[in-house]
Amino acid sequence: HLSLMASILNPNVTIEDDRTGLDIETIRRAVLDNLFYIQGKFPAIATKHDFYMALAYTVRDRLLQRWLNSVQTNLKKDVKSVAYLSAEFLVGPHLGNNLINLDIYQQVEQAIKESGLNLQELIDTEEEPGLGNGGLGRLAACYLDSLSSLEIPAIGYGIRYEFGIFDQHIQDGWQVEITDKWLQYGNPWEIARPESSVMVNFGGRTEAYTDDHGAFRVRWIPEYVVKGIPYDTPILGYKVNTANTLRLWRSEACESFNFERFNQGDYYGAVDSKVHSENLCKVLYPNDEPIQGKELRLQQQYFFVCCSLQDMIRTHLIENSSLDNFDQLWAIQLNDTHPAVAVAELMRLLVDVHHYEWEPAWQITENTFGYTNHTLLPEALEKWPLSIFGRLLPRLLEIIYEINNRFLERVRIKFPDNGSKMSSLSIIDESDDKYVRMANLACIGSHRINGVAQLHSELLKETILHDFYALFPEKFTNVTNGVTPRRWMVLSNPRLTELITQKIGNRWINHLDELKQLEQFVDDASFRSQWRQVKQEVKQDLAKYIEKKVGIVVNPASLFDVQVKRIHEYKRQHLNVLHIITLYNRLKHNPNLDIPPRTFIFGGKAAPGYFMAKRIIKLITSVGDVINNDPDLKDRLKVVFLPDYNVTLGQRVYPAADLSEQISTAGKEASGTGNMKFSLNGALTIGTLDGANVEIREEVGAENFFLFGLTTPQVAEVKSHGYYPRGHYDSNEELRGVLDLISCGFFSRGNRELLQPIVDNLLYDDPYLLLADYQSYINSQEEVSEAYKDQERWSRMSILNVARMGKFSSDRSIQEYCDNIWKVQPVSIKLQAYNQENA
Ligand code: GFP
């Protein structure tokens, strides 16, 4: 300890160097310094978590200069910024990613090693911020990474949920949900900015008045006011100085509001309101549950939207004398309808607070917003009961009525006497109970509307947004999703990154199209063997993890067949299970069958109230219990359900996959982004023509993709004729054998009731057409097995998949948003003054 003290007390580097220097020695010293002064520990008594924190602060220090310079620059008069409004940001752990983007991974690894520690272990210590459910939240995170990497001035606005998506435990094969206390040991990446707090109204009533100039105005007299406090996290781009901000709002009671109650001695009343306000951002709502009536969710949405818009206006007015040019300096993107109330809120701020006339305010609003739709599932379209909406947000409802009236006037002119168009386009759903339809509000208030893959964008125009498309076709566009190669390759698959970089240099990391150059090595046998070697090593790592986590021993040489994503009937994890049981039956009947051994790996959370999804998890684990323990199979099939699938686990799983299961019913998956991560890491895809699968197949070539199943028009066709799933059961003996085996309790220790709901659903309803696609899926899986037997062929296909993934970088998606929707330009950040030599 004495020598440590001596080295801390005798610095031959300046404080500035300690906080910004990037060489090994400075980093090593800075970590010890932070361990001492922030964690209050000596190395001898420090836990791994203490070291993680000390390192995290060391890295954060190195971000700060870039971050503050970026924020400063983004405020300038002539700089247009993107505000990405999203109820979810599934960013994943920050430490590893920041090391990659700062380009100091190696130095830090060395510095940590010199302190007798292992960097990977510290990285693994970080608690993941699970502030999202799945694809939508993760997309927002990839987009933040690309915005910064492309040096686009941007800010992500969202909610700082105290509890993120629940942790999933598996007990007796069932999902059990545990509260995600991600903040309990502190979050070194965020900085609270209480000085930038804002107030948000709820409830109460509105009141008309005449202002000093004799103008008619409305004010909102709320029942209660909640304070929003921003927490900022820097999001650094890859090897650039741009560090944008992720600003998440936490709610707090506004004490002064209840001063009266305090004074009256009603201490508990006042504390009640505190609890009430703080509940607002307590927990992230899981997807796939009926949302109507969940008043707290509407409060969350309005809360973060209102905070964010006030924040934008405040910063805008620092350099600008009015809001006239608001739309020229801000492009606001609505990530799905969750923040759609922003359309009405911006109107309220412009008209009620900043006293704009309606028309110019509407111009600004429409020019500012863009809306991204992420789903066609009708049950996922948000609508709020009018009664709840009006009670909670009375002024917003009035504004929505006004927007709607003016809008319907235009509709009437374009489509005279067309009542059905009027009612489908109206923001207010008058069918039975009245609702506010958030997608309609978003469409009317935005100048661009986009889907997230070509097929999805086309289907939007043909189906749920058809009438909007007829009205304003010029608003509609497509931006196919993408994923960041920094997290989903460089960080998660260092071995493949190194192999690729040895061959083609490292420009591909932010110019993903350059992966094309790998094609020239596809005929090089030694390259293919290196390629296989890398995959093998990564699979060994995952095999170890599986054994440690769930106690199942898997063969790293077997085909790793992976499906990781939220559990949902449309994603058809149970179709995958039907294939597993088919193989099981075949092997039982014919032990000499020549098929490569397979390990089926699943991961994903089911919404807590989604009965069928939870049963599907039980189906997977039950089938696994039987198959994994059947000595007849001689370990040729294994089935693993990895609990608590999240970003961190994704980083382990994608690199190790041979086969990527993208098997949703055609027309149901808007895009998918897991499909891109798998393929980028060299897995081949078995999939339907759904979402971005279509474009992935186009890029990698039909011969390098295992296609099966009905197309979207065929799905519609089958349904229109009155689909009869039972017919497939009757006519397909093998399918019958599979379903009967489930029904008779074979996988459920004789309990025939346990899994029967799944079988009944398939036989008598089958809304997602599993039985119709079954045979085609089985056939395609046979092709997979054949291809895998020929390892040279498989490696070729795998290399070509990676080489042709350039299109699916989120850098490309963001560039398209910038050019076609936001009209924003990159601004390079110059590091100011202090410590230039480290800049
Ligand atoms: C949704 C869609 C996906 C799409 C993502 C991102 O995902 O098809 O890829 O959004 O656009 F369903 P979830 O949030 O529902 O997982």
For 359-414, the pLDDT digits (tens) are 999 999 999 999 999 999 988 889 999 999 999 999 999 999 999 999 999 999 99
Tell me the average pLDDT of the chain.
Answer: 94
DSSP state of 475: G
The 10s digit of each residue's pLDDT in 460-490 is: 999 999 999 999 999 999 999 999 999 999 9
- Residue in 338, 383, 535, 571 annotated catalytic: 571
Give which of 32, 28, 56, 53 is closest to 44, Cα–Cα.
32
Atom of ligand 1 nearest to the CA of 372: 11
Residue range 77-92+128-479 forms a domain whose CATH class is alpha beta
Give which of 681, 577, 685 is closest to 637, Cα–Cα.
577
Q: Which residue has the tokens 């090693």?
A: 113
Query: From the CA of 523, how far away is ligand 1's center (Å)?
Result: 37
Q: Six-digit token pair at 10? A: 């005798």
- The answer to whether 373 touches 458, Cβ cutoff 8 Å, is no
pLDDT at 330 (0 to 100): 98
Q: Is the shortest distance between the CB of 480 and ligand 1 below 6 Å?
A: no
pLDDT at 273 (0 to 100): 75
User: What CATH code is assigned to 501-710+766-805?
Assistant: 3.40.50.2000
Give which of 697, 630, 688, 642 is closest to 662, Cα–Cα.
688
The 10s digit of each residue's pLDDT in 551-564 is: 999 999 999 999 99
pLDDT at 15 (0 to 100): 56
Atom of ligand 1 nearest to the CA of 287: 15
**80 included as an active-site residue:** no
CA angle 493, 496, 497 (to 5 degrees): 80
pLDDT at 293 (0 to 100): 66
Instruction: Kindly tell me if the per-residue pLDDT of 254 is higher than 90.
Output: no
The residues, ordered by sequence, that sit 6+ positions from 761 with a Cβ below 8 Å of its Cβ are: 612
Q: Is the shortest distance between the CB of 376 and ligand 1 below 6 Å?
A: no
Q: Which residue has the tokens 């304003």?
A: 472
Atom of ligand 1 nearest to the CA of 565: 16
Average pLDDT over residues 44-57: 97
Its pTM surpasses 0.90: yes
**673 included as an active-site residue:** yes
Q: Is the shortest distance between the CB of 490 and ligand 1 below 6 Å?
A: no
Residues in the chain: 839
Query: From the CA of 284, how far away is ligand 1's center (Å)?
Result: 17
- The answer to whether 36 touches 42, Cβ cutoff 8 Å, is yes
Kindly report the number of other CB atoms within 10 A of residue 363's CB atom: 13
Q: Is the shortest distance between the CB of 673 and ligand 1 below 6 Å?
A: yes
The dihedral formed by the CA atoms of 738, 741, 747 and 751, expressed in degrees to the nearest 10: 140
Average pLDDT over residues 558-580: 98
ipTM for the whole complex: 0.95
Q: Which residue has the tokens 């039909």?
A: 702
**Cα-based distances in Å from 68 to 145, 330, 502, 832:** 17, 20, 35, 10
Determine what percent of the chain is predicted with pLDDT higher than 70.
96
Query: From the CA of 567, how far away is ligand 1's center (Å)?
Result: 13
- Residue in 227, 316, 566, 796 annotated catalytic: 566
pLDDT at 14 (0 to 100): 55
Kindly report the number of other CB atoms within 10 A of residue 642's CB atom: 22
pLDDT at 16 (0 to 100): 61
The 10s digit of each residue's pLDDT in 760-783 is: 999 999 999 999 999 999 999 999
How far is it, in rounded angstroms, from Cα 832 to Cα 812?
30
| More confident of the two residues 271 and 471 | 471
Average pLDDT over residues 154-174: 98
> From start to end of 299-425, where are the E strands?
330-335, 369-372, 383-385
Nearest CA to ligand 1 atom 9: 672
Position 20 confidence tier, pLDDT thresholds 50, 70, 90: confident
Give me the sign of the Cα torsion angle 673, 675, 678, 680. Answer: negative
Name the burial class of residue 62, with classes exposed (0-12), middle (13-18) and buried (19+) by CB atoms within 10 angstroms of its CB: buried
Query: From the CA of 373, how far away is ligand 1's center (Å)?
Result: 9
- Report, in angstroms and rounded to the nearest whole number, the Rg of the chain calculated over CA atoms: 28
Atom of ligand 1 nearest to the CA of 566: 16
Q: Is the shortest distance between the CB of 136 and ligand 1 below 6 Å?
A: yes
Residue boundaries of the structural domains of the chain: 77-92+128-479, 501-710+766-805
Query: From the CA of 827, how far away is ligand 1's center (Å)?
Result: 30
How far is it, in rounded angstroms, from Cα 394 to Cα 122?
49
Average pLDDT over residues 663-668: 98
> What is the best residue among 671, 696, 814, 817 to mutate for testing ligand 1's pocket, by most ligand atoms within 8 Å of CB?
671
The 10s digit of each residue's pLDDT in 199-227 is: 999 999 999 999 999 999 999 999 999 99
The 10s digit of each residue's pLDDT in 103-123 is: 999 999 999 999 899 999 999
Q: Is the shortest distance between the CB of 21 and ligand 1 below 6 Å?
A: no
**One-letter identity of residue 490:** V
Q: Six-digit token pair at 244? A: 């944008």
Query: From the CA of 443, how far away is ligand 1's center (Å)?
Result: 19
Q: HSE (CB half, 13 Å, CA atoms) of 825?
A: 6
Q: How far apart are the first and last CA of the chain?
A: 33
CA–chain centroid gap for 452, Å, is: 13
How far is it, in rounded angstroms, from Cα 209 to Cα 385?
29
Helix pair angle (770-789, 733-743), 10° resolution: 110
Name the burial class of residue 776, with classes exposed (0-12), middle (13-18) and buried (19+) by CB atoms within 10 angstroms of its CB: middle
Q: What φ, ψ does residue 232 adopt, rounded to 5°?
A: -105, 135
Q: Is the shortest distance between the CB of 374 and ligand 1 below 6 Å?
A: yes
> What is the best residue among 139, 373, 450 to mutate for testing ligand 1's pocket, by most ligand atoms within 8 Å of CB?
139
The 10s digit of each residue's pLDDT in 520-554 is: 999 999 999 999 999 999 999 999 999 999 999 99
Instruction: Kindly tell me if the per-residue pLDDT of 3 is higher than 70.
Output: no
> What is the best residue among 86, 88, 133, 136 to mutate for testing ligand 1's pocket, by most ligand atoms within 8 Å of CB?
136
Q: Six-digit token pair at 594? A: 């020549």
The reply to whether 77-92+128-479 and 501-710+766-805 are identical in fold is: yes
- Residue in 58, 242, 673, 688 annotated catalytic: 673
- The answer to whether 465 touches 449, Cβ cutoff 8 Å, is yes
DSSP code string of 529-591: HHHHHHHHHHHHHHHHHHHHHH-----TTSEEEEEES---GGGTHHHHHHHHHHHHHHHHH-T
Position 834 confidence tier, pLDDT thresholds 50, 70, 90: very low
Give which of 545, 651, 671 is closest to 599, Cα–Cα.
545
The 10s digit of each residue's pLDDT in 811-824 is: 999 999 999 999 99
- Residue in 395, 677, 697, 812 annotated catalytic: 677
Give which of 717, 464, 510, 753 is closest to 615, Cα–Cα.
753
Q: Six-digit token pair at 123? A: 């990285």
Position 256 confidence tier, pLDDT thresholds 50, 70, 90: low
The 10s digit of each residue's pLDDT in 731-754 is: 999 999 999 999 999 999 999 999
**113 included as an active-site residue:** no
Query: From the CA of 670, how far away is ligand 1's center (Å)?
Result: 6
pLDDT at 266 (0 to 100): 76
Q: Is the shortest distance between the CB of 395 and ligand 1 below 6 Å?
A: no
The 10s digit of each residue's pLDDT in 289-346 is: 776 668 999 999 999 999 999 999 999 999 999 999 999 999 999 999 999 999 999 9
